[in-house]
Structure 1
Amino acid sequence: MELKALVINCTLKKSSETSNTLALAKEVTKHFDNVDVEYITAADYSIGFGITHEAVDEQDQWPMLFEKVKAADIVLIASPIWLGEQSSIANLVIERLNGGSSLTNEKGQSIYYNKVGGAVVTGNEDGAKNVGSYLLYSLHRLGFTIPPNVDAYWVGEAGPGFSFIEANGEENEFTMEHAKMTAYNLMYFAKLLKSNPIPAERK
């Protein structure tokens, strides 16, 4: 059974720049087996403001990205920490996902049913659990299934300092173990839901 995973990197950088958040996301996805992974850097696209899945103006590229979300079995939202919070782009992505929450599948369920969601968080200060809780709750509230322990994170020392790559974050045993756990749990539940979709409500 092949799965499709979409990683939405919500760094404030373009994909032409080195992203510590993407580096940690790839520590998760390297454990995927038989999963087709696509990485998107949200800052590369023109994403309009609004709570809708449709284009808000002629420049809005969200509808194209939304098609990728709909085709994915696994959606991994990756965000850096800024002032203890998720990035502004992460907020924007969640708002646009919310814009599609009223759409339903053939069973009348949210189109996000039978998809699993996870989070990746990096930063140089505290806030990883706060950002993770925002991302995971938001995905859960929209209809995604959230398996246990799917919020891989890394934080450096307080204040300015080295980020994940420069700090050799891949040597952090806790973070690497959690990255592996995130991958395995996402795959397990994605396969489970693909084989056994959530049944329609019966009255």
Structure 2
Amino acid sequence: MTASAASGGASARSTYDDLKALFINCTLKPSPAVSNTQGLVDISRSIMEREGVQVDEIRAADHDIATGTWPDMTEHGAASDVWPQLYERVLDADILVLAGPIWLGDNSSVTKRVVERLYSCSSLLNDRGQYAYYGRVGGCLVTGNEDGVKHCAMNLLYSLQHLGYAIPPQSDAGWIGEVGPGPSYLDEGSGGPQNDFTNRNTTFMTWNLMHLARLLKDAGGFPAYGNQRAEWDAGCRFDYENPEHR
């Protein structure tokens, strides 16, 4: 295969320097502790930055994110909650990547809290009357030394699409070491950074996120017909037939 065919031809190459991406690292470790998940984040981030994408990053454990499913939990009894400020950074991004470790075969408690807080804002609407996350794309990165990469990815990708994110093909990647207590991704001799399967999947995920974000941005977002909550509440049924109840 020629280089031109492999790339889809020179005319097919897009630019991405007007896109923004946000990585949320859901490690249990606050900074400056070493996060193995960060190793995969760095690979994906570096590809995006080489293409001119503006990249933001949050380590969730560094922030006082209250437990709950309301946009601002201080209005519901929490002493403090930085989620409203973090949510502005979420909305500013065309691409969201949730990254985190496996514990007991599942996503970390920090990952689950972030998903719950994303969910807490999912009923908010954009300026087209769609749910707030429409027109954005999502993916995930998972690391661990116990089974569960695909289980964690399934949970995260389902959650993201349910909230309104568009999910491109092959939008997850992960690394799993020898089942515990094996080495973690960044441990010396783990083989993680050299793993071709993980590196390939991380690269494909990154490009697919950028490709779909490019398509959506060029289209002016996700089409705003048949999915506008305000229109539905006003009685518009978008060709849905409401048969007489018998």
**For this structure pair, what is the TM-score category when the shorter chain's length is used for normalisation?**
over 0.9
Counterpart of 1:75 in 2: which secondary structure? strand
Give the TM-score, by structure 1 length.
Answer: 0.97
* Residue 38 (structure 1) aligned with residue 62 (structure 2): no
Counterpart of 1:8 in 2: which secondary structure? strand
Corresponding residue of 2:212: 189
From 13, 17, 21, the counterpart of 2:37: 21
Q: Which has the higher strand share?
A: 1
Corresponding residue of 1:131: 152
The total of aligned residue pairs comes to 203
Deviation at 1:34, TM superposition (A): 1.4
Check conservation: 2:142, 2:173, Cα contact below 8 A.
Answer: yes
Q: Which amino acid letter does the alignment assign opposite residue 29 of structure 2?
A: K
Deviations 1:168-194 (A, max 9, x none): 311000000001001100000011111
- Write the distance in 1 (CA, Å) between the matches of 2:126 and 2:192: 40
Deviates most, 170-179 or 192-201: 192-201
Q: Which runs of 4+ in 1 moved over 4 A?
A: none
Corresponding residue of 1:74: 95
Corresponding residue of 1:108: 129
From 130, 140, 145, the counterpart of 2:166: 145
Query: For structure 2, which runs of at least 5 residues remain unmatched after alignment?
Result: 1-16, 227-237, 239-246
CA RMSD of aligned residues (A): 1.0
Check conservation: 1:55, 1:61, Cα contact below 8 A.
Answer: no
- Write the distance in 2 (CA, Å) between the matches of 1:105 and 1:41: 26
- Write the distance in 1 (CA, Å) between the matches of 2:33 and 2:128: 42
- Write the distance in 2 (CA, Å) between the matches of 1:150 and 1:15: 27
- Write the distance in 2 (CA, Å) between the matches of 1:96 and 1:78: 15
Query: For structure 1, which runs of at least 5 residues remain unmatched after alignment?
Result: none
Corresponding residue of 2:192: 169
From 133, 139, 158, the counterpart of 1:118: 139
Deviation at 1:145, TM superposition (A): 0.3
Corresponding residue of 1:89: 110
Q: Which amino acid letter does the alignment assign opposite residue 187 of structure 1?
A: M
- Write the distance in 2 (CA, Å) between the matches of 1:105 and 1:15: 33
Give the TM-score, by structure 2 length.
Answer: 0.80
Deviations 1:106-162 (A, max 9, x none): 211011001100000000011000000011100000000010101110000111121
Q: Which protein has greater RCO, CA pairs closer than 8 Å, 6+ apart?
A: 1
Identity %: 47
Deviation at 1:89, TM superposition (A): 0.5
Q: Which amino acid letter does the alignment assign opposite residue 134 of structure 2?
A: Y
Corresponding residue of 1:157: 178
